[in-house]
Structure 1
Amino acid sequence: MTTPAAPTPAPTKQRVPFWDNARFAAIVLVVFGHALQRLTYDSDAAEALYLLVYAFHMPLFALVSGYFSSSAEPTRARMARVITDLIAPYVIFEAIWTLTQFLVTGRTNLDPAQPAWTLWFLLALALFRLVLPFLALLRGPIWWSLGISIVAGYLPSIDSTFSISRFLGLLPFFTMGWWLRDRDVVARLGLLERRPAWLRTLAVAVLVAAGAVAFALVDVWSDVRLGTWFFFVDAYADLDAPHWWAGGVRLAIIVSALVLMSAFLVLVPRRKTPWSDLGKYTMYVYLLHTFVLYPFRQSGVLRGLEPVWLWIPLVAVASVAIAATLASRPVRRLTRPFVEPRMPWLLRDPALGAGRGAAASARPSR
């Protein structure tokens, strides 16, 4: 009698180091941008660097998030993950921030519809994931998302409540990230292969040129409130641009962000690096770094630092150290109940909420 062959085990998905490297580099930019903000009051160089970072760092996060999102019909497990991975941490950290602000200032505004500081991205990401299956049904989803983003700015009723304005404003980047994977563009064009020296040189030139333009015209950008445009929060009328051409400004900002993030991604290493593993845990850094920076921002210790040419590199190095520390194993172990809560008691099917934290961090990038 013939013994039946043992089933072939399914191949294990391997993480792609490039994406982990990109995640960690992007989260360092987030920390650096927030740490740099107080220096901008006293330094044009800091203001120019701040504008350069804010021109593309959150669009980059939206694009990478879209790359790893699915447009398939929502399953119970994926819907549960929206609750456990995004909504639950949002509620937890919103409560923590409310308490923190009360202890520091004696005042508080308990309004979960208005996210505290960086928490808006959790709500925006939840909305991205919920909308994507519907958006993917349309012809030309990127063009639809681009039109939605531009038109949303004309409507003053669309504001920061539940991060709706940012969700709509950043929707093209998230959609493009999904489209790149859905159409297998990265593999077909060999975008993860070794880049020639001329391309890396061009990427550096693009970023340097953008920084130079930001510095040379820093007063102009301040007058037109360019930094506020980069937030994708306010309607055009609230940005002193109640004109028909205001949508063209947003379009230019979107195109510029795509150019800058492309240059940035060209410079991200493709091989495994000492910080690749840290790129798996960017949510820890995103949610926790504000508590590290809050005392410095509130105390004013970052104001009037001289010489700025020395302090900007120090802040950059500190940003890398903060990101690496918050993504480290001891910090993750201590804060996991808040960042990646296991909540079997919340869902009708307890299995959907049990052990989500470990699974979320361990799943491979594709």
Structure 2
Amino acid sequence: MTGVSLGGPRAARTPKVRTPQWDNARFLAVTLVVIGHGIQRLTYESNNALALYLFIYAFHMPAFAIISGYFSKPGPPSAKQMRRVLTDILLPYFIMEAIWSLVKFFAEGEADLNPSQPSWTLWFLLALGIFRLVLPYLALLRWPLVWAVIASVGVGYFDNVDSTFSLSRAIGILPFFVLGWKLREWGTVDRWQTTRRSVWLYRGLAVAVLAGWLAIVLSNIELWRTIDLRFWFFYDASYHGLGEDQWFAGGVRLALIVLAVILSAAFFVLVPRRHTWITDAGQATMYVYLLHSFVLYPLRESGLLQDERTSAMWLLSLVLASIGVALVLSTPVVKKIFHPIIEPKPQWLFAPLPDKSPDKSPDKP
């Protein structure tokens, strides 16, 4: 998933050159999403599954938000850009919500079409819409990243800010989106892409960082299970809802934000910078993100992903199967079939764009 692409008039456009590293990062990040959802039911019984789950959830959605922020513009949106928000974010959200309602009706006998409560993975689409809305205002302020962190930490103290329209979660991960935008302004990624010296040193440090986090998770797994650490990584519940209503609870979220930034940086450093066999798949991450839940839903509801199936081999099998799901859903044939609902282009829905020709009315000098 990327930010809304921007461009000038069609006649003035130049061919858009994609950066392989970003497509690689998109695919790897969305694959982590699929793996996380694929093994989620195993975490109730398997410490190995919970360790992998915590390892992934500490940074995979923050990394996604950073990518989205990197490709976002802070200025006031044009009419064309606002159209893209409707067609790329809001319209797919309502289409997928309607489909999920039908699935739940036939599978569970429940008819609950409530767009204010996003189903499963759809919360991120609404979060993207909220990000687009607030970024132009944050960009007007000094230290926008600081304000985003304050909002993220502060929102956890309010029980009345909940998952309705994904508001609590959007504000919770807002710092990562703003960080992505600032990284583009600072030119950090451009400098990394042109770096030739010390690349392997940085990658060695990145491996050490990720390995260190995995070691921390594994060595304290019973503690993390006792305190339900995984729910902190969702960024969607108040501190009181998480069972921590102390005044310093916001410090825990601040620490997790710092952790997510460090782990995301390590993740991006390890992403290949050249064109690889996964680069083209990185152009279809929206399809993987929105469709994989329909593949996993029957498995989750059948009970196949829990009970006695908690061995390390079963966990590895699910990880490999999740990678396979991500690869299949990023193929051209899937994009062709599901293009009308993932990337709808309802031109009939919009009024004509404003005429950009000079105003020749007699009142003008």
**Superposition TM-score, scaled by structure 1 size:** 0.90
Asked if structure 2 preserves the Cα contact closer than 8 Å seen for 1:113 and 1:161, the reply is yes
Shift of 1:116: 0.4
1:209 counterpart = 2:207: no
Give the whole-Å Cα distance in 2 for the aligned partners of 1:299 and 1:26: 27
Asked if structure 2 preserves the Cα contact closer than 8 Å seen for 1:193 and 1:270, the reply is no
Give the whole-Å Cα distance in 2 for the aligned partners of 1:10 and 1:88: 26
Q: Secondary structure at the match of 1:272?
A: coil
Equivalent residue number for residue 226 of structure 1: 229
Cα shift readout 1:232-290 (whole Å, capped 9, x = no counterpart): 11011111111110110000000000111111111110110011011011000000000
1:338 counterpart = 2:341: yes
Equivalent residue number for residue 360 of structure 2: none
Shift of 1:192: 5.1
Shift of 1:201: 2.0
Shift of 1:308: 2.2
Q: Could you tell me which amino acid in structure 2 is paired with residue 227 of structure 1? A: R
1:147 counterpart = 2:142: no
Asked if structure 1 preserves the Cα contact closer than 8 Å seen for 2:45 and 2:310, the reply is no
Structure-to-structure mapping, 1:151-162, within 5 angstroms: 151-162=154-165
Q: Identify which of 285, 288, 291 aligns with 1:285.
A: 288
Equivalent residue number for residue 74 of structure 1: 77
1:247 counterpart = 2:250: yes
Cα shift readout 1:157-214 (whole Å, capped 9, x = no counterpart): 1000000001100000000000111232222x43553453232222112112211211
Cα shift readout 1:136-163 (whole Å, capped 9, x = no counterpart): 1100110010111111111111000000
Asked if structure 1 preserves the Cα contact closer than 8 Å seen for 2:23 and 2:281, the reply is yes
Equivalent residue number for residue 193 of structure 1: 195
Cα shift readout 1:284-339 (whole Å, capped 9, x = no counterpart): 00000000000110001111455622122222221221111111111111101110
CA distance 1:229–1:334, shift in 2 (3 Å): same
Identity of aligned residues (%): 49
Cα shift readout 1:332-364 (whole Å, capped 9, x = no counterpart): 11101110011112111289xxxxxxxxxxxxx
Structure-to-structure mapping, 1:1-366, within 5 angstroms: 11-187=14-190, 189-191=191-193, 193-194=195-196, 196-304=199-307, 306=309, 308-349=311-352
Give the whole-Å Cα distance in 1 for the aligned partners of 2:201 and 2:220: 28
Shift of 1:13: 3.3
Task: In structure 2, list runs of 5 or more residues that go unmatched.
Answer: 1-11, 355-365
With 310-319 and 145-154 compared, the bigger mean Cα shift is at 310-319
Q: How many residues align?
A: 343
Q: Secondary structure at the match of 1:237?
A: coil
Give the whole-Å Cα distance in 1 for the aligned partners of 2:293 and 2:59: 20
Name segments (4+ residues, structure 1) moved above 6 Å.
none
Cα shift readout 1:117-153 (whole Å, capped 9, x = no counterpart): 0000000001101111111110011001011111111
Asked if structure 2 preserves the Cα contact closer than 8 Å seen for 1:18 and 1:192, the reply is no
Asked if structure 2 preserves the Cα contact closer than 8 Å seen for 1:149 and 1:168, the reply is yes
CA distance 1:274–1:12, shift in 2 (3 Å): same
Give the whole-Å Cα distance in 1 for the aligned partners of 2:99 and 2:257: 33
Give the whole-Å Cα distance in 2 for the aligned partners of 1:185 and 1:216: 34
Equivalent residue number for residue 357 of structure 1: none
Give the whole-Å Cα distance in 2 for the aligned partners of 1:11 and 1:348: 27
Q: Could you tell me which amino acid in structure 2 is paired with residue 296 of structure 1? A: L
Asked if structure 1 preserves the Cα contact closer than 8 Å seen for 2:193 and 2:273, the reply is no
Q: Could you tell me which amino acid in structure 2 is paired with residue 107 of structure 1? A: E
CA distance 1:315–1:192, shift in 2 (3 Å): farther
Give the whole-Å Cα distance in 2 for the aligned partners of 1:173 and 1:146: 9
Q: Could you tell me which amino acid in structure 2 is paired with residue 257 of structure 1? A: A
Give the whole-Å Cα distance in 1 for the aligned partners of 2:46 and 2:187: 44
Give the whole-Å Cα distance in 2 for the aligned partners of 1:216 and 1:190: 33
Q: Could you tell me which amino acid in structure 1 is paired with residue 248 of structure 2? A: W
Aligned-pair Cα RMSD in Å: 1.7
Asked if structure 1 preserves the Cα contact closer than 8 Å seen for 2:89 and 2:126, the reply is yes
Give the whole-Å Cα distance in 2 for the aligned partners of 1:259 and 1:106: 44
